Structure 1
Amino acid sequence: MLNISDNNKTNPPSLEKFETIKNLNLNSNSKILNRIIVSVCILGILILFLPWTQNISGSGSVTTLKPNQRPQSIQSVISGRIENWYVQEGDFVNKGDTILYISEIKEDYMDPNLVANTKRQVSAKKSSLESYGSKVTALSSQIQSIESEKRLKLEQAQNKIKQSLLKIKSDSMDLVAVKTQLKIANTQYDRAVQLNNEGLKPLTDVEDKRLKLQEVEAKIITQENKFLGSKNEYINAKVETNRITAEYSEKTSKAQSDQFTALSNQYDTEAQVNKLENQYANYSIRNGMYYIKAPQSGYVNRVLQAGIGQTVKEGTPIVSIMPAKYDIAVETYVDPIDLPLINKGEKVRIWFDGWPTIVFSGWPDVSYGTFGGKIVAIENFISDNGKYRILIAPDEEEDAWPKKISIGSGAETIALLDTVPIWFEVWRVLNGFPPNYYKTNSKTAKDKK
């Protein structure tokens, strides 16, 4: 290498000749600083091996354990106009106390005597129903009377038929007898004529026999007419039977038709009575809805509809009420990755907004101002904020929660898991691994033995 410049020197001068360098070498503070740094490093390494309690942190708010103990808004079941308030914000009301009174705004219910008029309509329809019932009963009696009369008439007609048959039989026997007499009269007449021709009988005997024959011939004609008359009477008796059956069937049909009409009117009136009774009950219940009452004992938190004369629709919240007696609880939210580590019945540490606390999440034993809780419910469906809701109740084995806690105030929770070294926790967090799955050790009877 060429030594072109005079500044290039192979052996640089020593720095010991400078006064500042001499002062630095004589100063002992640098040695102390080095010792401090080394001590801090050793202490940091030792701290990495200290125990650290893994936990799942969450944030939520104070609520109540039971749904019926939470703040609720009282709504109006019907539409109306606010007429009078009986409470103000902050008042304590018992169950059933009147909060406000509203009046009717629908024209269908504005009649002040609507309930009484409906009651009278129900009474009138019931009377009409009873009348139709009486008519049905009377028609039933009439049908029974018609059937009884029909039965008697048919028996009378049957008797006439039997009489006609007997008369036909008697007339037929008389006709046979007359025909026998005619045959005898013809024989006697012929014998008398023969004997007269032989001179054994006088002519007067022949004339007597002819007269007797003519009488028998006339008698047989009369007997045949009588026999045919008996047959006609029999036919008329059968026709009369059919006429009686048709006549009384018509009467029975007409009475049954009237009865069915009365029954139809009775059922229609009964339906109208039921409808009117339903309306009467609805109107009576609606009158009781004008007075909005407290569903349970509590404090009036906030009046949501103010003023006199303001109209409200059905289902509109009117006033908010807080129950007087409630069981305190905390609802908190955890990330989905931590949900498998949460089990019902596990213990949780809680601290509330407004209460002095000193919290070391990894060392719960040295924390101050936290309270014990126990998980009572885990929601299986994710909430709108992308987390799962956990409900925590006070732990009866630890100190009671403060009595001055307000519903809705904030709360922070820590669910304690496994105890690991700090270096392991740092490594887990840096790699994004979940905490160790923690199971409560439950010894069986065999293990205890």
Structure 2
Amino acid sequence: MSKALDSLPSGISADDVHKQLVRILNSPGFSGLSAQLLDYIVKNTLAGRAEAITERAIALKVLGKETYNTKSDASVRMAFQRLREKLREYYYRDGNNDSVLFLLAVGCYTPRFRRNRTIDTIRPRSEKAWDLYIEARRLWGRRTPKALRSAIAYLEQALEEEDTFADAHAALAECYAFLSLSGQAPHEVMPLAKRHVDAALSLDEDNPTAHAVRGFIACAYDWNWDEAEVEFELAIALDRRSTSAYCWYASYLVAVGRNSEAILQCRRAQASETSTSLVTNSHVAKILHVAGEHDRALNLLIHMIDEAPTFFLTHWHLGLILLQMGQPDRAILELQSAVELSGQMPSVLASLAFARAAIGEREEAQRLLKQLIDRRVKEYVAASDVAAISGALGALDEAFWWLDQARQERAIFLTWLKAWPLFGPLRADPRYQDFLKSIGLLLH
């Protein structure tokens, strides 16, 4: 058996790959150089000549360049970037239901071939494990700390039923990652998220949720922004219907200031669901908000409140938008509702304190600030929340002291230092640019 055929995943034949190649090359978006390039790398890989697919060989065989300097000429790398974009668009539009995926990792010229994921390919043998997993995903959608912990318990039971259930490990990683945003110290839960990402990928190296969570960990906890984008793009390539992957990627794009791309990913997240969930819509509203699309975010949130009046994320984001739109009374009411519905979640309470400070209610803002600082004795309250309130009160030295504490904690909201409205009062201070540099955000 040739090296090429031996390396094909179970369930995919060389004939399957050839048929998929023809299907892609005959699609409306593929022509010219991208078509020639894809044809060259796929056929050489199938022929067992993957090691011969080098930058110089591509320059000669596809681009027709007799001489090629890899240091000064980026034409091959640019051609591959366009090819990756073409494949991404193809699988999003025409090839969404194709059975075979062509994957091209950044920096790699050899394609990988994978079977598209379906319910049948991810469902475990144990019906009980599957039922526990489905219930956990339902609880995960509530986003409160209590619901996330309950989801974790269900997923652990699912793994007791079937310890090779990769998606249960990936879902556990996602739950632990969200707990870092919901009142648990990142140093406590992110290592657990990493452990379950590794477990999921050891069972299924192409698990899209695991790659998406790995991307989130890379940017939000490790501050490795380049690695994060590679993981997000891989997650989406592996499953075009992965709502979570689109949402994680959108958060990353906002963090690095690529707002229009973030909005596009949100639209794709909405389109990936038959009926868009509250969780997805709340994420879209948040992205629209920080991207400056206040009216669109407001309309979406008002519709969501009519649909589910007790979902705390809706009230939280609505309150912050109303504050920025100059409607402080309504903003305070919405934020108070969010605090109550979230169970006094620290970051939500910090938003209420910020709003109080922003409208001149300093005593109430200081009272809430003290409350949050006092809570740090017994529970995790992100230092970034304290920094934001201090900044709103004009205490910039204290704010930057707390930011330094947040950096030591790896507080997750630091990821959105350039985007989250609560950090606005800090951005004119000269120390702000130095801080961005320290977490790798200055050049993004």
| TM-score normalised by L of structure 2 | 0.13
Larger Rg: 1
Q: What TM-score, normalized by structure 1, do the two folds share? A: 0.13
Higher relative contact order at CA 8 Å, sep ≥6: structure 1 or structure 2? 1
